[in-house]
Amino acid sequence: MSPHTIAAMHAVVHHHRAPPPHRCSRGGVRAVRASAATVPTTSAGAAAATDSPSAAFWDYNLLFRSQRAECRDPVPLRVAEGAIPPDFPAGTYYLAGPGMFADDHGSTVHPLDGHGYLRAFRFGGGGARYSARYVETAAKREEHDAGGASWRFTHRGPFSVLQGGARVGNVKVMKNVANTSVLRWGGRVLCLWEGGEPYELHPRTLETLGPFDILGDGAAPADGSGGDAAAHHRRRRPWLQEAGIDVAARLLRPVLSGVFRMPARRLLAHYKIDPERNRLLMVACNAEDMLLPRSNFTFYEFDADFALVQKREFVVPDHLMIHDWTFTDSHYVLLGNRIKLDVPGSLLALTGTHPMIAALAVDPSRQSTPVYLLPRSPEAEAGGRDWSVPVEAPPQMWSMHVGNAFEEPDARGGTTVRLHMSGCSYQWFHFHRMFGYNWMNKKLDPAFMNVAKGREWLPRLVQVSMDLDKGGACRGCSVRRLSDQWTRPADFPAINPSFANRRNRFVYAGAASGSRRFLPFFPFDSVVKVDVSDGSARLWSAAGRKFVGEPVFVPTGGREEDDGYVLLVEYAVSDHRCHLVVLDARKIGERNAVVAKLEVPKHLTFPMGFHGFWADE
């Protein structure tokens, strides 16, 4: 974007102009290596009105508009286009995300601190029904009066500043809003957040049943004495340095738990499912890891009845932030995002004038990406490789989301490990300004998410390949784009879940078509389907002033990998409408890719969600 464009968008942010009239701009289905649909024509005046700094600003902010109403009794969804196909399986698409951003006393929080709002689309009998309810977390019960009429934010949250609440001395930071991801496993529906225990909801009524203590009695923090793996790491540091970190950890734990009420172990919101072994995999970190140059990871594997079948602890000598991760048959795989303590930011955070996340900063001091291959199986651990030493993958990349990972034997008796994922640059990623949150004017600034000084700064789809010898040592590592034909921003990679943990051909992701001049990179308006085998890419795009969320693959049980459908929510913010879109995965890039569009009632239109889950009946 040019400096003039950025200046224009910032001018809109500061002047708060009224939203433009609800008019539609040009758009349509676009395809890479596929036939493209005809693009509707519009007058130059209408196009200018709908593709302007003002329209971009308001469209972006309307995408995160609060929805105070719940939908406790499921309502049938009108089919606005096409029809639900006969072979679409019976099941429920759960979508987690924030629902409440602004209270009644002047405070507006960051989207990551918005209260969890679970949406459910239930398919069966040839139709679909919709329901939605807030997750009744402890913070939600405190900040929302019993009558349901008024909201008053009292928790700062890690990413927000309260304009209408207590700032200085407010230690209510860890605001578990259960808004990041959702899972149905072992008959339970769980809503997860990045810094606390999951909340369980009823699978059909969505009533909150309460916190779910998934970690059980084993939630005491790892301290470097948790077995041979931890002891192996401790020998890598000078004794005095390791002892100093141990002392700091013991001092921090009572402060974090007693003052800030942080749990001893921080369960990550991203989980994995091993379809071959029918296991749920989860990982937790120690609370003090955020502030120390050492990271503790505990991996848990549960069977179909939530019985714990494996637990492994690792301590790595790196200051890391992990959002997503992955696994193979033999390894847990962590792509480390290096961070550091920001002392001036910490002081500002304690004053309440800056969010608590200001205490951290990215650490771009090393021009590579650390990939930790932690032994999942006894065979991998017996190989002799020092797992506490990461594979340094070129180039430096901030890991965002992983679509799949798998390992295969090579001709020399070794193993090749491949990851399909999304990543961005350290320069593009910014703790304080994610989603363009501006705590001073209480608005979201889309300019930040749409600035790029180079293509490699933006979120992109890549393949990471690591060649390991017989002993597990890395012979070489490479990072390349998943598709040379698709170089625009993309994130939220998804695959047919039946192919998890083994070689897959297709990756689906949210993507930016670039059709809007003032929102060229984010929010996404398309789904790209990448064929990893030849690097080709096909695209489906929403028409006009519409954006899309994360795609989710729904398999139909066919023999081909793309036998199934892709579900996603289309947000027509200018019309204040949400549609659940059903795409034929095989026809993405063709004119008839849309199988059906289901319309959410206008009064129930909801803000953008984060991560979803398809659960077959």
pLDDT tier at 257, thresholds 50, 70, 90:
low
Cα angle value 183/188/189 (rounded, 5°): 40
The overall average pLDDT reported for the chain is: 86
Measured CA to CA in angstroms, residue 255 lies from 78, 167, 171, 524 at distances of 52, 19, 11, 41
Query: What pLDDT does 18 receive?
Result: 40
Closest alpha carbon to 133 in 65, 200, 43: 200
611 is in an annotated binding site: yes
pLDDT given for residue 51 in this prediction: 80
Give the pLDDT confidence score for residue 172 in this predicted structure.
80
Please determine, for residue 11, whether its predicted confidence score (pLDDT) is greater than 90.
no
Q: How confident is the model at residue 26 (pLDDT cuts 50, 70, 90)?
A: very low
| Residue 597: partners with Cβ closer than 8 Å, 6 or more residues away | 79, 80, 81, 82, 570, 579, 580, 581, 582
pLDDT of residue 443: 83
Choose between 455 and 196: higher pLDDT.
Answer: 196
How much of the chain exceeds pLDDT 70, in percent? Answer: 83
Q: Is residue 278 over pLDDT 50?
A: yes
pLDDT of residue 455: 62
19 pLDDT more than 90: no
The confidence score (pLDDT) of residue 241 equals 62
Q: How confident is the model at residue 400 (pLDDT cuts 50, 70, 90)?
A: very high
* Structure-token match 């790196």, residue found: 318
Q: What is the pLDDT of residue 459?
A: 94
Predicted local distance difference test score (pLDDT) of residue 566: 98
CA dist 286 and 265 (Å) reads: 5
* Beta carbons within 10 angstroms of residue 150's beta carbon: 12
To the question of whether residue 319 is assigned a binding role by annotation, the answer is: no
Q: What is the model's pLDDT at position 349?
A: 82
pLDDT at residue 207 greater than cutoff 90: yes
Domain count, the chain: 1
**Token digits of residue 548:** 């899309």
The token pair at 450 is 């749409």
**HSE-up of residue 513 (Cα within 13 Å, Cβ side):** 25
For the beta carbon of residue 205, count every other beta carbon within 10 angstroms. Answer: 14
- Please state the pTM of the whole predicted model: 0.89
323 is in an annotated binding site: yes
215: which residues sit within 8 A by CB, 6+ positions away?
A: 197, 265, 267, 284, 300
Q: How far is CA 165 from CA 67, 168, 173, 346, 438, in A?
A: 21, 10, 13, 20, 17
pLDDT band at 29 (very low <50, low <70, confident <90, very high): very low
Q: What pLDDT digit, counting tens, does each position of 522-546 carry?
A: 999 999 999 999 999 999 999 889 9
For 130-156, the pLDDT digits (tens) are 999 999 999 999 999 866 679 999 988
pLDDT at 233: 40
For 430, the domain range is 3-616
Q: How confident is the model at residue 219 (pLDDT cuts 50, 70, 90)?
A: very low
